[in-house]
A and B are shown apart, each in its own frame.
Chain A
């Protein structure tokens, strides 16, 4: 009786709520086509979701320094803004030339490059920059030093820099195009090796630093002496300046684009945020999307029972119907494509047909669930219970965890979601204080050396990389071998062997659906292309604003 009366009341409220729902959405414009005549002038305003801890990109690992800072600096090589899979020279005059033994790389430098303080850039500056990155002095942090393990020594003349390698390295050229390797002034570094940690510039980039108000915004002005010109000979950059606004709250970020206070955010939004913007802005909105080199790893703690049992680890990954997960989660999160250890649709991606043969990627979901149950039974772990260590980030971590819990529940595993603040999460990850964790990885480049770094033995790279805590010399050997293989096709095969071994046979860690990058932005913004990551292509040199 009471039940029914309550329900009637609730139906009334519900219908009112339904009336609030929005009508059909208008479709936004497709990304502007190439071939338009770029128009100089204007100020680009963009959103940055967090703040840089220091100004030195060599030492930091957050995009929060690259987005506001990159326009002030150049790198030796760079990614072509018109084709982000192609590497082209930046302050280099041409691409590196290798000796026949592939152990010496010589890079010629431009001679018309000037720092913002008016001093000309020479080989000395590039050498000082790379010395700081590859051989940092005591007390100087260089976050990606490990990526240059192949470098034996460097030397420079006025207009060249020469790298001597210990062994041929497949990823070496790409690492010279790293968006983190900003060229610094040797004079400033000599004056104070930490100069660039505390100061912005002088760099050689298309924009000159103007002002930074902490917690609020960062502005830059056009560098009139920039060395770059476009193919019509027009002086670059096109923009008069830019303003980066720092906004942490996700809803506030979307509102900034929606209220046209900002024109773009370069990291990415969820499908729903895209659709909200599309409904609100209609044809004023443009959208670009791309598979992202970011992925979460389901990481069992291999040092802890029962996850030291490969059968249990395999059951965990086999229980997941990844294809259906991708299909469902892409409706509500920025997770989408299914792949192995290399980015789906990227240059090293394993074909779907081969992938489907790996444990946890089968197209036959029912059979897989049964197989998982059998494995658990064989391991004596029916009714397995564990905690899932997670990061308390609303997207994509929390939705992913909810879905994983549901998948595992179907094979009789009871999992408790344990979201923690990022710092506490890292503390647990690092100390191995977890059963199974959702680890993650993001890189600036499709490069097995980067994406496989987490799979080296823990005795070799420590828990900061290998969160699962395993030691496997066979796997170490396999990863080293692909790194030294300079033939792209042969290297791909080696990488695929590693994927089969690490994800299926040993089931150390397995990826959940890969992230997908969605950039909804003002259709006035031209000359910017979305890439596979949110690190590269941020110097804004080719960006311009339509009237």
Chain B
């Protein structure tokens, strides 16, 4: 057991290295240059000499391999370097946005779980009745309506009906919870709805599957009450796939709310990432992708640990 856990922990390293290598290569394959963008996007007239000098200053004229080893050796010391665009430490830039993104992801997860678990279990227990149909139509709606679309419609509704616009700048929750929630609750709802649909479907199908398992049949046959069967056996054992889906989705939410953040003007990780990609801010992209990959790998590890605890059937070799 300990050896398994230690092994899993050690295996994070090659994954992260792989991510780093791939990010580095992919971004350099994509055409485009941060210096060109910086000096030309405004429509000004700049000379070739200026652009070359700036590329030199940023070290972009160095051989690829040298750039890579420089970055990797620094990254190994947890130094992600400075943003090519703003010249500030990558860590500092990420730190500024992480609070908002984490909070939004947590809010959306809470909303999703609160909707998905009860609805999913009810739908499974009432399979093929109108209750099941209603719940499924509601939840598939969450998958079918683009969440940026819901977001835009929500804002339009607030503006036209209530003549009110959610705050456009972020206030940390410990400074002013009302102001904070007034901004974040709308995107959290838009995202949480979609997220709940994913989780609810998995809950339903997973409960359905477990309810047909022999041990549940046995429990029923033994004459255990339906509620007890559901809670003690069905729900507990059907949680695994649900937890997998929820944790994958959570990891995705931290950096993946690109369009939603744009629509609600949220200063989050997703926007930072897209700006970095659009700007070809290599150091920022590499730092961010590495961070998001780490979040993912750690959550993955935790899920695996959960599997060990919850499902004794799984062998660990």
A379 at the B interface (CB under 8 A): no
Which of A61, A198, A251, A258 gathers the greatest number of chain B CB atoms within 10 Å? A61
* Interface 0/1 of A424-452, CB less than 8 Å to B: 10111010000000001111000000100
Residue of B nearest to A449 (CB): B45
Within 8 A of B (CB), among A401-436: 421-424, 426-428, 430
Interface stretch (choices B30-38, B108-116, B129-137, B192-200)? B30-38
What chain A residues lie within 8 Å of B54 (beta carbons)?
Answer: 141
Whether a CB of chain B sits under 8 angstroms from the CB of A462 is yes
Q: Is the beta-carbon distance between B263 and A423 smaller than 8 angstroms?
A: no
Known: A61-B42, A462-B48. A216 touches B37 (CB 8 A): no
Distance in angstroms between the alpha carbons of A427 and B155 in the assembled complex: 37
The interface size bin for chain A is 35 or more
Contact B165 A255 (CB under 8 A): yes
**Number of residues in B with C-beta < 8 Å to the partner?**
52
A383 at the interface (CB under 8 A from B): no
- Those of B139-173 within 8 Å (CB) of chain A: 152, 155, 159-160, 163-165, 167-170
Q: Is the CB of A249 within 8 A of B263?
A: yes
Q: Is the CB of B152 within 8 A of A247?
A: no
Taking the complex as formed, is B57 at the interface, i.e. its CB lies under 8 A from any CB of chain A?
Answer: yes
Of the stretches A143-151, A352-360, A523-531, the one at the interface is A143-151
A252 to B158, CA, bound (A): 13
Contact A60 B38 (CB under 8 A): yes
Q: How far is the CA of A246 from the CA of B47 in the complex (A)?
A: 29
Counting CB contacts under 8 A, is A4 at the interface? no
1/0 per residue, CB under 8 A from A, across B261-279: the answer is 0111101000110010011
- Structural contact, A464 and B46, CB atoms closer than 8 A: yes
Taking a contact as CB atoms under 8 Å apart, the answer to whether B36 and A430 are in contact is yes
- Choose the segment among B85-93, B235-243, B295-303 that binds chain A (4+ C-beta atoms closer than 8 Å): B85-93
How far is it, in angstroms, between the C-alpha of A539 and the C-alpha of B65 when the chains are bound?
A: 46
CB-based contact A143/B39 at 8 Å:
yes
> Are A462 and B50 in contact (CB-based, < 8 A)?
no
Q: Is B40 an interface residue (CB 8 A)?
A: yes
**Shortest beta-carbon distance from A326 to chain B in Å:** 20
B41 at the interface (CB under 8 A from A): yes
Select from chain A the residue with minimum beta-carbon distance to B92. A214
Contact of B86 among A53, A139, A142, A427 (CB under 8 A): A53
Once bound together, how far apart are the Cα atoms of A535 and B179, in whole Å?
A: 34
Q: A247-B265, A255-B155, A259-B165 are in contact. Are A424 and B50 (CB under 8 A)?
A: no
A131 within 8 A of B: no
Given contacts A421-B32, A422-B37, contact A440 B53 (CB under 8 A): no
Contact A461 B47, CB 8 Å, known A216-B267, A426-B33, A426-B37: yes
Bound state CA distance, A213 and B97, in angstroms? 10
What 8 pairs across the A-B complex have the smallest Cβ distances?
A259-B165, A423-B32, A442-B43, A61-B44, A215-B267, A462-B48, A427-B31, A61-B42
Chain B positions within 8 Å of A, measured between CB atoms, are 30-34, 36-48, 50-51, 53-54, 57, 85-88, 93, 96-97, 152, 155, 159-160, 163-165, 167-170, 262-265, 267, 271-272, 275, 278-280
19 A-B pairs with C-beta separation under 8 A:
A60-B38, A61-B40, A146-B47, A198-B87, A249-B262, A255-B155, A255-B165, A258-B159, A259-B159, A261-B167, A294-B43, A422-B41, A422-B278, A423-B37, A423-B280, A426-B40, A427-B31, A442-B44, A464-B51
